[in-house]
Structure 1
Amino acid sequence: MTAPVEPPPLPATFRPTSTRIVLLTVGTVMLVVLCWISVALDTLNTGERVSFIVTALVFFGVLALLSRPKVVADEDGVTVVNLTSRRRLEWAEILRVNLRPGDAWVFLDLSDGTTLPALGIQPGIGRDRAIRDARALSALAESRGTGAPRR
């Protein structure tokens, strides 16, 4: 059994920083390269140049969207920001924070009987950090809400 985790000071933001850095770096490089190509190639007409730039912006937009997930904990509750949605939860609504082996991200068991994925804590690149973040969020939920004790 692991030792109890001390809740972090609030406000606390949990996000997959390494993944975010990689996505935004790749997006920026692709944007610059495709825009440079559109300007550098003399054989392209205006429509083709515009299509290169629009394609670069679309790629960057998708990668920026993929880098969006985070979980923000404050005194009043938690805001879960996933790819295309944002949901505000009161501490009492969070019963348990789950990160099981093989899970792609944390799942929050809620008092209404549903489960909410929290993509802001994902073990993809930084497994140890994701486990620490999940334990910290669980400690916050236990200390601030009606969260059930961890198993």
Structure 2
Amino acid sequence: MNDWDVEIRPHLTPYFAYGAAALILAAHVAVGVLLKVGSTGVIFQTADQVAIALLGAVIASVVLLFARPRLRVGAQGIAVRNLLTYRLIPWSEVVDVSFHRGARWARVDLADDEYVPVLAIQAVDKDRAVAAMNTIRGLLERYKGINSR
């Protein structure tokens, strides 16, 4: 049932997310290891060192959510996965897929001026974003039988 015509992911953002998460985790582990080095007047326990490293792991995990966005398009509709949400939008609900001037990412336009942001197609990806929008518009025309903007 989950046969998709196309799957789109952001190109640059995951690299930044992976790099930032690795840097955050490494910094917290380093601080945790160095916590007992030298005397600052405060007595740190091993539990404090572990807690700082675990805090780094939690923060890094949150940063990794930025590598999660994905857009899938197929006969059943448009599936949008953003940082925390997933939504399958059937073609009957889709009005258009647009990328407004000055916006950071695309969106799926729904009835009543509602929309679902699509973080998988981002302005920072430039030509890849243009190609992705052209692909999505072609599939929109194919499945909806309309000419999108």
Question: What RMSD over aligned residues (CA atoms) do the two structures have, in Å?
Answer: 2.2
Q: Radius of gyration: which is bigger?
A: 2
Q: Which runs of 5+ in 1 are unaligned?
A: 1-9
Distance in 1 (alpha carbons) for counterparts of 2:141 and 2:130: 16
- The answer to whether the Cα contact below 8 Å between 1:105 and 1:122 also exists between their aligned partners in 2 is yes
The equivalences for 1:16-27 within 5 A come to 16-27=10-21
Q: Which runs of 4+ in 1 moved over 3 A?
A: 40-44
Is 1:65 the counterpart of 2:65? The answer is: yes
Other structure's SS at 1:92 match: coil
Contact 1:99 1:131 in 2 (8 A): no
Cα distance in 2, alignment partners of residues 66 and 119 from structure 1? 9
Is the 1:15–1:71 contact (alpha carbons within 8 Å) kept by the matching residues of 2? yes
Mapped pair 1:141 → 2:135: no
Question: Is the contact between residue 95 and residue 141 of structure 1 (CA under 8 Å) also seen in structure 2?
Answer: no
State whether residues 93 and 145 of structure 1, in contact with CA within 8 Å, keep that contact through their aligned partners in structure 2.
no
**What CA distance in whole angstroms lies between the structure 1 residues aligned with 2:114 and 2:20?**
35
Cα shift readout 1:40-97 (whole Å, capped 9, x = no counterpart): 4433422321231122112211211122211112332221011211100123322211
C-alpha distance in structure 2 between counterparts of 1:21 and 1:29, whole Å = 12
Q: Tell me the CA shift for residue 113 of structure 1.
A: 5.0
For structure 2, the 5+ residue unaligned runs are: 38-43
Give the aligned partner of residue 8 of structure 2. Answer: 14
Equivalent residue for 2:41? none
Alignment length (residue pairs) = 141
SS across alignment from 1:78: strand
Report the TM-score, using the length of structure 1 for normalisation.
Answer: 0.80
Q: Work out the CA distance in 1 between the residues paired with 2:80 and 2:47.
A: 40
Identity of aligned residues (%): 26
Taking structure 2 as the reference length, the TM-score comes to 0.81
